[in-house]
Structure 1
């Protein structure tokens, strides 16, 4: 997530420069074929381009609305996880009759957050982080889950035996919640947890399961591919035909405009069509980069920072005195 004022125009232009290069080459070629090669049959009626542009604008707007909704839902899910985590820490402190057991429950919850955020950073075939513009932009920030491994992080929160059990299954976050359930049952059997408190903590555990499932749904189910591909196809068709429509629009002006532009108005089709086509292509690129809110991109939900904030809150709840202060991020991109 960009936590600064905004992306600069230069950053955005560099990020989208490859489609821009292709558009410039395409438009120069088509206009030159018409003007210098005499291929006047290339011109397309402007009314056709107008109708196509309207349709593409509607489809592009639909895609960007839906991808933004995915991003917004992910933010809501992790806001709920933050609230549920604080509630879990408070209930463990107030209901469990043994400080050592309270600490184990809280730290195991931190292990769940760690396992979940690593699970959210796993790669999926439809994600965009392997595309060259996004690879280049990663020089501006680091993804914490790509720097340190899960097994190193888990040892801070769970015992070696529990870590081995967690790492040995595919759904590691679910295994941590299973361990929490077993621990609550053991506390109930040992008389350290009243039945009413056990029921309350079980309800909190069920809520964590539900929040994990919501986060996993956003991670494991992409923006529908049929809508994604049709948007790309229509944008490319528009970018191909737009300069030909500009030719049809500007050709009559060759005989009516005087001065230096007399007879050369067609060349204006190049900058005008490049500008409009770039706007559509950039809009599609922005929508695609926002569709996967946990992939490690610059527009992701900052789950690593949220987990760090939750850890500080819960450790202070346990009256720990060696809790490090939150450090200012070195980059405007916060993950």
Structure 2
């Protein structure tokens, strides 16, 4: 997630430059045909284009509101995980008699966080992180889950036998929560954990299962394809027709013009159509980059950074030290 003040205009132009190239080329086509080849019948009534633009703006606006809500709710999930993880570490530290057992509970929770963020970073066919304009922007930030394999990290938090079992499971984070539940039951049976705090930790496990399911819901179920498709089609259709709707209007401006621009006002269709169409295509591209909050894009929920913050706080509760949580943040803008 972009955590700076704002995007620079130059960055935004570079990010959308391929759209600008196509709009520039397409904007020239009707002008050349109209001016040089006298295809004056190509002009489309501006009223039709305006009506289409109005409908398109409603569709694109609706999509952007919905994708923003998806990103906001996904962030709320991880803020809940942050708060409940701190509570987990506090209870595990203060109310488990054996400090080594406390450490195991905390580290198993860190293993769950690691497995969950790796699970959420796995690509899906509908995600756009692999598109060229998004892939090029990755030079400004890191996606730690794509730099190291989970097999290298999980043994840092779990005993070898537990790590091997988890890695062989179809759902690594779910298996780790199951191991955590079994461990709590054994601690309670042996008297190492009182009934009240056992129930408190067990309730927290239920919360983690619920939060994991909600996060996986955003990952595995995209913004409805029918709305995404109609929004994209409307924007493309509007951008195709818009320069044709300006031909006759700009041609009429020649009547009151003198000097160099006399008879050449039609060429202003190109920059005007590019400017207006670029606004629509940029809104569409922004909405698309926001609809999948865990795909590894610049506008994602910063789950890598949040996990680092949780790890730092829980290890500090145990009297251990860790590095500053800066991974996953865009730091060069």
- TM category (shorter chain) comes to over 0.9
2:287 match: 287
1:248 and 2:244 aligned? no
Cα contact 2:91–2:201 (8 A) shared by 1:
yes
Cα offset for 1:318?
Answer: 1.2
1:105 match: 105
Cα offset for 1:327?
Answer: 5.9
Cα contact 2:115–2:173 (8 A) shared by 1:
yes
Cα offset for 1:29?
Answer: 1.1
CA deviation profile, 1:10-65 (whole Å, cap 9, x unmatched): 11111111111111111101111011111111101111111111110111101111
Q: Can you give the 5+ residue segments of structure 2 that lack an aligned partner in the other structure?
A: none
Cα contact 1:246–1:269 (8 A) shared by 2:
yes
1:5 match: 5
Structure 1 residue aligned with 2:330, among 310, 329, 332? 332
- Distance in 2, matches of 1:262 and 1:289, equals 44
1:78 match: 78
**Could you tell me the TM-score, scaled by structure 1's length?**
0.96
Which aligned pairs between 1:291-302 and structure 2 lie closer than 5 A?
291-302=291-302
- Distance in 2, matches of 1:305 and 1:104, equals 22
CA deviation profile, 1:302-326 (whole Å, cap 9, x unmatched): 1111111111111111122xx1341
- Distance in 1, matches of 2:166 and 2:221, equals 24
- Distance in 2, matches of 1:83 and 1:252, equals 64
2:37 match: 37
Cα offset for 1:328?
Answer: 5.2
Cα contact 1:250–1:265 (8 A) shared by 2:
yes
Q: Residues 328, 295 of structure 1: CA spacing in aligned structure 2 closer, same or farther, 3 A cutoff?
A: closer
The aligned length equals: 332
**Could you tell me the TM-score, scaled by structure 2's length?**
0.97
- Distance in 1, matches of 2:311 and 2:325, equals 14
CA deviation profile, 1:101-128 (whole Å, cap 9, x unmatched): 1110000000000000000100000000
Q: Can you give the 5+ residue segments of structure 1 that lack an aligned partner in the other structure?
A: none
Cα contact 1:68–1:291 (8 A) shared by 2:
yes
Alpha carbon RMSD of aligned pairs, Å?
1.4
1:166 match: 166
CA deviation profile, 1:273-313 (whole Å, cap 9, x unmatched): 01101111111011101111111111111111111111111
2:227 match: 227
Cα offset for 1:95?
Answer: 2.3
What is the DSSP-based 3-state SS (H/G/I as helix, E as strand, rest coil) of the residue aligned with 2:156?
coil
